[in-house]
Amino acid sequence: MKHIFKIMALLVAIAALWIGLLQTSMIPQSYALLLPIYSVVTLGCYGLLMVGVGLMQFPTCPQEALLLQQDIIEAKEFLQRKGVDVGSG
């Protein structure tokens, strides 16, 4: 339950900052109106970057690959004994 309060406090702080920017003339109002869209796009780009980095650093597990191949062979043999055509591939 504490996480929701942190998130809500952060959202309120961001909204207050955005409204404050709209009220003042520090930046043009046309830019200030687009800040939420820029924020969402930036967050999406960050998310895609993190997924890409995670995929590039994805560990390979040769031992697990061998175990998986053995499991596939056992499953094919089991299904063939039950009369299921599993093909040659």
pLDDT in tens, 42-82: 989 999 999 999 888 888 888 888 999 999 999 999 999 98
Mean pLDDT of the chain, nearest integer: 87
Above pLDDT 90, what percent of the chain?
Answer: 38
Please provide residue 51's backbone torsions phi and psi, each rounded to the nearest 5 degrees: -65, -45
Q: Please state, in angstroms and rounded to a whole number, the distance separating the CA atoms of residues 48 and 39.
A: 14
Residue 2 pLDDT = 83
Q: Are 42 and 53 in contact, with CB atoms under 8 Å apart? A: no
User: In 3D, which of 28, 8, 32 has the Cα closest to residue 18?
Assistant: 32
pTM for the model: 0.52
